Amino acid sequence: MVDLSVTLAGVKLKNPIIPASGTFGYGREYAELYDLNVLGSFSFKGTTEEPRFGNLQPRIAEAPAGMLNAVGLQNPGIDAVIDQEVPHMATLFHGPLIANVGGFSLREYEDNCRKLNDCAPVGILEVNISCPNVHAGGQNFGSDARSAAQVTRAVRAVTDKPVFIKLSPNVGDIGAIARACEEAGANGICLINTVLAMRIDLDRRRPLLANRTGGLSGPAIFPIAVRMVWDVYEAVKIPIIGCGGVASAEDAAELMMAGAAAVEVGAANLRDPYTCKKIIEALPALCSRLGVNKISELTGGAHT
C-alpha cells in the first residue's frame, strides 16, 4: 500500500494535495460536493487586516489554457475570519488548515500573523508577499530579496507556527529571493503565484479587466512553475509547496520531482470542483507505476 503522507516543517498531512488560496473560499461550497477530509489540507482565502471588497468588475477573464483574475483580496478581514470562518472550517476539515496571509505594511503582516498564532485549527501560515507595500511606492514585498526577508523576519518574530512564504514569479532571480527568506527564518516556500498578464477587448478597445492587468493561472503557467520550483529546490533546504497550473496526478508528481514536498491546486478547481479528489484517488496507482512506496520519495527525484 502506498503511503501518501507528507510532512511540511513538522506538520503532517495525509497526502500532498492542497486546494490553493482564492479558489476554495472557506470550503463551504466544496463541502456540499464531497468530504473535505480526503484533502491533505486547504489554503483558505487571502486574509487582510480590514475587510476588502476587492477590485472593480470585470475582474475575471478567460485566456488560452487559463484565466486572468484581479479579484483584489476580497475578504471580511482578519477578525471576522478568526471569529466566524475558522471555527466553521474546523467542522468541515479536521486536519491542519493553511492560512493565506496578506498585508500592505510590515505592521499588518505582523498583526495578522500574531492573531493567527493563537488560532488552533491553523497549522501553517502561508504569507503572500505579492501585496504592494504602501509605504514603499507600491512595489510588491516579494519583488526583491531585501523586502522579502523583511516580511519573513517580521512574521517569524510573532508566531510559533510554521511560516511558508508565497513567492511571485514576476521577478528576476527567484532562487535568491527564496534563499533570503530561508536566511530570515522561513520554514518553507510556496510558489508560484500568478503571472502578471492582460487581455484586450477588440470591440471596446479596452482591457478586459477593469484593473487592466491580472494574474494568469491555469495550465498555461505550469511549465513556469516547474522551472521555478526546480530553481528554488536547488537554492534552499526548506520544504516547498509547489503550485501553478496543476490539473492532474501526473502534474502533481512532476512538480514533486522538481522539488515540491506538497502541491496546491488552483484554477483547476474552478473548472472541475472534484479535481483535488480525483488527483488524490489517482495518486496510489501513479506511485506504483513510478516505483515508489512513499510519495515523499518523489520530492526532488529529478535532481539525482
Which residues participate in catalysis according to the annotation? 131
Task: List the one residue out of 196, 193, 96, 116 whose CA is nearest residue 148.
Answer: 193
Cell numbers representing residue 39 in the block: 484533502
Three-state SS annotation for the chain? CCECCEEECCEEECCCEEECCCCCCCCHHHHCCCCHHHCCCCEEEEECCCCECCCCCCCEEEECCEEEECCCCCECCHHHHHHHHHHHHHHHCCCCEEEEECCCCHHHHHHHHHHHHCCCCEEEEEEECCCECCCCCCCEHHHCHHHHHHHHHHHHCCCCCCEEEECCCCCCCHHHHHHHHHHCCCCEEEECCCEEECCEECCCCEECCCCCCEEEECHHHHHHHHHHHHHHHHHCCCCEEEECCCCCHHHHHHHHHHCCCEEEECCHHHHCCCHHHHHHHHHHHHHHHHCCCEHHHHCCHHHC
62 vs 67: CA distance, rounded Å: 4
230 vs 280: CA distance, rounded Å: 23
